[in-house]
Structure 1
Amino acid sequence: MSAQQPPKLAGINSPSSPPHQTVPPSATAPHQQPTVSPQPHPAEDPAGPALARPVEHLAAVQDRLAGWISDLTTLHDLTERLVRTDTLDGAVRETLTAGAALVGARRGLVALEPADGLGPDTTVGLGLGAADLGHIETVPRDSASYARLLDGLPEAAGPGSGDDPQEIAHPHIARDTTLDPRHREVAARLGYAASYAVPLVSRTTGRVGAAVWLYDEPAQPTERQRHLLGLYVRHAAEHIARQIDLTRARAAVTAVREDLLPGRLPRVPGVRLAVRHRTGPRGGGDWYDVLPLPEGALGLSVGGVTGSGPDALAAMGRLRASLRAYAVMEGEDPVAVLSDLELLLRLTEPARAATALFGYAERAAASAHPAGGGPGDAGSATRIVMAGAGHCPPLVVGPRRTEFAETTLSAPLGMLSCWEAPSIELLLAAGETLLLYSDGLLHRTGESMDRAFARLRSAAAGAAPAVRDDPEALVDHVLHTVLPDGRADADSAEDVVLLAARF
């Protein structure tokens, strides 16, 4: 008869019972018969229970290993999706989605509040609209779980700190009398019954924010779910911290670029102006300028430096400021202006090249009349003297013509030991518009330059008369006709400048 086995605990195999000890024959008492162990029945296998226990233990180990492998695979997939996000908003939304999947929730929010106070301070929701987030923000700060985490976190977490992140769980909000009544009211109105919140802390920059996931029914994550979420959130916090740094850097570059370019176009009698500027994600070096000059003249310029990023932006600012100074001194001679600019570029930026187009506009003499115009146009014509250095030719748009004003072929500034090229003279009738643009407008089409030039001319020629008479409407029409399907506003390595001057 088999010995009775002790019962198994949940999830734990009972230990093997010690083997039966038999007394050696020499140790038997006198006149006592040796103990004879009962022989097993031929149908019983004494090795059966002993073999079953290792098999069961091995199966349990395999199940545990399979669970670990499944968890690691899940974390790997989620973190791979996270690192593919390249914006702060994308990183936060991916963190919310992945966290909801790990803890079994449908909705949630992330409140960004970096410890250094430099922002951005914002709230992003998953399955929550702007009105829902507004309701949640009415919860007193000492009751809202994410706010309590933010207020209770240290300003910085030292590298290598082994402290586990805090967490706040509300398994049943409606029955939690420790919460503020407003908290329970908002939860009932929005239809969530439980919440689970964790902080977002980077080991290098400290506090980033806090995340909260909301359950439709009373619930709370299991220990395994909390463990997986903790591993994921540590990685997500570092990625979000990097995206915050990048967002701040982009904002700084944008602010500098806006300060380097004209804040608004000047008001010039007899001229209507409009401009559109689209820059690449790294901050390009294209510029535009409209400068009132002595004796009622007007200076128009567009250009760009090679490269991108802050160094190209700084070079662009220096060149634009220098061109303004040269234009004031000798603007009536555009060739001299660009020659001075080229000399400055070779002395201060020897490894950089630039393209530029500068025009000097003034009222034409009464005896002159523009090409294609009649004698009645003479008194209101505008004379423009223009020089270009490797830049695209301007486009003249009017009721009687739409044509490129071919400038002389010339290398960009900084490409030759000494730059000089003859200028050209344009006569524009009243109602005609001069379009100056950067080559980024053509490159963004993705077509050959010949086809891009044809597309640009066709877009301007196809504008309705009312559009041609309004520079603001004309630049919008040309921009979105040449670059349809959102390509005008999409991120690109190519800057776009489109400047219109209607005389």
Structure 2
Amino acid sequence: MLAATTRIAHELHELPELPELPELQEQHEQQLDDTPILQIMEGAPHGILIASAVQGGTALYANAKLGDIFGTRVSTGPGELYAASTAIFDRNGEPLAFEDSPLGITLRTRRPASAELQYRIPGEPVRWMDITTTPLDCPRRGPVAVAYIHDISSRRHAALELDEANRRLGQQLDDLTWVHRLTEELTEDASLEDTLERVLAEGAQLLHAEFGVARVLDEQGQMRTRAVHGVPPGKPEMHQALQEIGPQHLLVADILSEGGSTIIEDVLNHPSIGQELRDLARSTGFRALYALALPGAGGKPVAAVAWAFAQAGRPTSRQRQLTETYCRFAGQIAENNHLYEREHAIASTLQQSMLAPRLPDVPGLQIAACSLPGAQGMQAGGDWYDVVAFDDGTAGLALGDVMGKGLGAAAAMGQMRTALRSYALVEGQDPAAVLTDLNALTVDMSLTDMATVLYAHIDPAARRAVLASAGHCPPLLVDGEGARFLRAGQGVPLGVVDDWSAEQEAVELAPGSLLILYTDGLVERRGEELGVGLERLRQSALAAPTEVGELCAWLMHDCLDEGVGPDDVAILAVRLR
């Protein structure tokens, strides 16, 4: 290339003085055609252009290959090279002035230059050019330069396609990561409302929606609103209005049955929208709607979610695809939460029905009891209590905790409570014997793998209590000497061994003594040693109201975070008059 450039400059230098244009151009072309070097340039595999600075930019010579590259013959008219530069753009696609192009720079500065450029003609594919320019040493001709032009369109288009493929792949990976992260977060939600609220919030962020509402199919097949998103504080009327956005308004009853979706781009002008929904859109400030079914594991819809937009329009295909993928996973989680919710309601009802509806009156004793289902988690536990009044004026107090959750635990709790009451009526003054019989039944009938039970027989006349425990929390005794935990004849939990036994403990009770039985939900907290919770209960009992009827509420509030806990709690308290 360097040798060819030197030869071109030499032959241009040997040409006679050129007349004024246009005669200069015609004569110059004829003389160049006669030079041997041009025969070589005509056979070059790349485009070659010789240009001067006359009238801003004039082509003196262009080989045939250059015409093939541009798809047209390069004009050698005076200044036409400069005029044609409007089709030149830099590699970023921005317009490029001729003087800033490699050829313009070389003509202006007499220095070599190179760049990748785009050649754009309306209605034609973009052509990519790799251009290198070199100045020619022709003092009598003024600034002259030669440009070597390679068509790299196919290479650039292939690179752009690869970049686009990589971009799409990266976006897909980002989308999958997004869905995976959000799905994992959904599994942390303990209730159906929590799940639906998270789906609405994440969907609104992805779709750029202002409002959202989620509805769930109840046992009667009716859609009930369970979550609303995007209502500003202090707008209860708007909250109520958004609750009315349901499938009957969104025309998706058929689509919901198929687990699909629907889009209403303009609620105010949609031909099938009723006046009720139009009025709702005006009052709450939305214009477009996008609704989806949340399918369960079998594909049957368990809920519907809808997002409302302030402006008319529709989500992009990527937004819809992401949202629908997310909702497929969310539907299965919502279905599980819904099933757990139903089981929790059944188990809670069963559990409460098996507790003593009212405590018996025992002369000389004040007795109070309460139970609190766990605020976290979806299933009821097996905490229970019972009081048996004997004909001789004594009483038997029992409190237990069956391992596990749900219907199984509630059923086992009911069986154990019934059995203990029967054993207590036979040998209630011997707590160890009662628990021994209960363990034999538990093992024989496989009621549960493990249960803790505390049973106490109290004689108010003798001011005496006898206690036995099967792995249960130690009872707390509060009297004139303070508050202390009793060893209570500890044995292993029921259901663990075939032959259960424990040494029961007798305790003398002073007048006014308070005995508190409780389950572990009252004293256990995650990440905290049990001793801390026991001491918290002891201090709380010392400061508790004297009236036993107020004691349970006091302990619940004082020992639990804001009066609620992650596990079920049962308390049974008795005060000697």
What secondary structure sits across from 1:387 in the alignment?
Answer: strand
Distance 2:419 2:304 in 1: 48
Hey, what does 2:203 align to over in structure 1?
A: 99
2:548 match:
471
Q: Paired residue for 2:164?
A: 63
Q: Is the 8 Å Cα contact of residues 464 and 508 (structure 2) preserved in structure 1?
A: yes
1:491 aligns with 2:566: yes
Query: What letter is aligned with 1:491?
Result: P
How far apart in 2 are the matches of 1:59 and 1:318?
A: 73
Q: Quick one: structure 1 residues 120 and 458, their matched pair in 2 at CA, closer, same or farther if it must change by over 3 Å? A: farther
For residue 101 of structure 1, what is the amino acid of its counterpart?
Answer: Q
State how far apart, in whole Å, the 2-side matches of 1:237 and 1:448 are: 38
The superposition leaves residues 242-268 of structure 1 with CA deviations (integer Å, 9 ceiling, x where unpaired) of 332333333333333333333454555
Deviation at 1:191, TM superposition (A): 1.8
Whether 2:301 is the aligned partner of 1:207: answer yes
Cα offset, 1:141, TM superposition = 6.7
State how far apart, in whole Å, the 2-side matches of 1:309 and 1:186 are.
42
Aligned with 2:501: secondary structure? coil
Summarize deviations over 1:311-362 as a string: whole Å, max 9, x none. 4444333222110111122323333322322332343349844432222334
Amino acid at match of 1:260: M
CA contact (8 A) 2:213 2:245 kept: no
**Greater relative contact order, per chain length (Cα 8 Å cut-off, separation 6+):** 1
Picking from 122, 142, 145, the partner of 2:225 is 122
Q: Is the 8 A contact 2:431 2:504 kept in 1?
A: no
Q: Relative to 1, partners in 2 of residues 1:243 and 1:154: Cα closer, same or farther, differing over 3 Å?
A: same
Q: Alignment partner of 2:174: what SS?
A: helix
Whether the 8 Å contact between 1:85 and 1:91 is mirrored in structure 2 is yes
Task: Identify the match of residue 168 of structure 1 among 253, 259, 263.
Answer: 263
Shift of 1:301: 0.7
**In structure 1, what residue type is equivalent to 2:71?**
A
Compared with structure 1, are the counterparts of its residues 13 and 72 closer, same or farther at alpha carbon in structure 2 (3 Å cutoff)? farther
1:466-485 Cα offsets, whole Å, 9 max, x none, are x42222432233344344x4
Q: Matched residues in 2 for 1:236 and 1:211: separation?
A: 11
The aligned residue for residue 454 of structure 1 is 535
Superposed CA deviations along residues 168-198 of structure 1, whole A, max 9, x for unmatched, are 3133x33446432232222222122222222
Q: Sort the Cα spacing of 1:331 and 1:118 in 2 relative to 1 into closer, same or farther, 3 A.
A: farther
1:184 to 272, 278, 285: 278
State the AA in 2 paired with 1:202. Answer: G
Q: How does 1:251-290 map to 2 (within 5 A)?
A: 251-266=345-360, 271-279=366-374, 281=377, 283-290=380-387
**Residues paired across the two proteins, number:** 437
Q: Is the 8 A contact 1:167 1:196 kept in 2?
A: yes
Is 1:84 the counterpart of 2:188? The answer is no
CA distance in 2, matches of 1:231, 1:285: 38
Match in the other structure for 2:574? 501
Q: Which residue in 2 is equivalent to 1:355?
A: 452
Contact 2:209 2:307 in 1 (8 A): yes
Contact 1:334–1:423 (CA under 8 A) maintained in structure 2: no
**Residue in structure 1 matched with residue 525 of structure 2 by the alignment:** 444
Change (3 A) 1:343 1:7: same
TM-superposed deviation, 1:305: 4.0
TM-score w.r.t. the length of structure 1 is 0.74
The residue identity in structure 1 corresponding to 2:230 is G
Map of 2:419 onto structure 1: 322
Secondary structure in 2 matching 1:174: coil
For 1:489 and 1:120, the matched residues in 2 are separated by 30
> How many angstroms apart in 1 are the aligned matches of 2:332 and 2:403?
34
| Aligned-residue offset at 1:398 | 4.5
Asked if 1:112 corresponds to 2:216, the answer is yes
Per the TM alignment, residue 300 of structure 1 is displaced from its structure 2 partner at its CA by 0.9
1:435 matches 2:508: no
Secondary structure at the aligned position of 2:465 is classed as: strand
Distance 1:78 1:52 in 2: 38
**What is the distance in 2 between the residues matched to 1:257 and 1:450?**
29
Equivalences for 1:340-419 in 2 at 5 Å? 340-349=437-446, 352-364=449-461, 382-398=463-479, 401-413=482-494, 414-415=496-497, 417-419=499-501
Q: Quick one: structure 1 residues 81 and 472, their matched pair in 2 at CA, closer, same or farther if it must change by over 3 Å? A: farther
Question: Residues of 1 paired with 2:571 and 2:534: CA distance?
Answer: 14
Pair 409,195 (structure 1): closer, same or farther in 2 beyond 3 Å: closer
TM-score for the superposition, normalised by structure 2:
0.65
Q: What is the rounded CA distance, in whole Å, between the counterparts of 1:340 and 1:357 in structure 2?
A: 14
Unaligned runs of 5+ in 1: 17-41, 158-164, 366-381
Distance 1:362 1:153 in 2: 69
Kindly report the root-mean-square deviation, in angstroms, between the aligned alpha carbons of the 2 structures: 3.7
In 2, Cα distance between equivalents of 1:350 and 1:198: 44
Q: Which amino acid aligns with 1:152?
A: D
- Residue 14 of structure 2 is matched in structure 1 by none
Q: Distance in 2 between matches of 1:139 and 1:240?
A: 20
Corresponding residue number in structure 2 for 1:134: 240
Letter in 2 for 1:80: R
**Separation (CA, whole Å) in 2 of partners of 1:401 and 1:231:** 61
For the residue of structure 2 that corresponds to 1:407, the secondary structure is coil
Change (3 A) 1:176 1:79: same
Q: What is the deviation of 1:452?
A: 4.2
Q: Give the letter for the 2:275 counterpart.
A: P
Q: Distance in 1 between matches of 2:170 and 2:482?
A: 71
